[in-house]
Amino acid sequence: MRKGGWQEFSSADSLQRPAGPSAGVTPKGEQAVRVQPTRGGKGGKTVTVIRGLELDPDGLKALLKKLKTRIGSGGTAKDGVIELQGDQVELSLEYLKKEGYKPKRAGG
């Protein structure tokens, strides 16, 4: 092959994905989890938004259910973001710390 020639595919070795169950999964304590109260687009009602959780949809729903039970509030999970009704920032931070995450308060 000439130097600088076009190659459609990389070598077979470079296309291999890393092996192991934890390939590409960040440990709970290293995820950049942010908890923020917001009112934007919610009709003036405050909601608590939790971003940065690297969970599959089933894991996100399971965590949402635990948070709603612990806090006693409604909420939803969509597009990798958890929204809880009301200003639940402190309770959410406390619960996420108990679960092994290192969450930070964001915004106001």
Query: Which domains are delineated in the chain?
Result: 28-105 (3.30.780.10)
Query: What average pLDDT is seen over the chain?
Result: 82
pTM, full prediction: 0.73
Question: Which among 79, 84, 35 is positioned nearest to 60, based on CA atoms?
Answer: 79
What distance in Å separates the CA atoms of residue 103 and residue 10, rounded to the nearest whole number? 39
Residues 76-101: pLDDT tens digits? 998 889 999 999 999 999 999 998 99
| More confident: 107 or 49 | 49
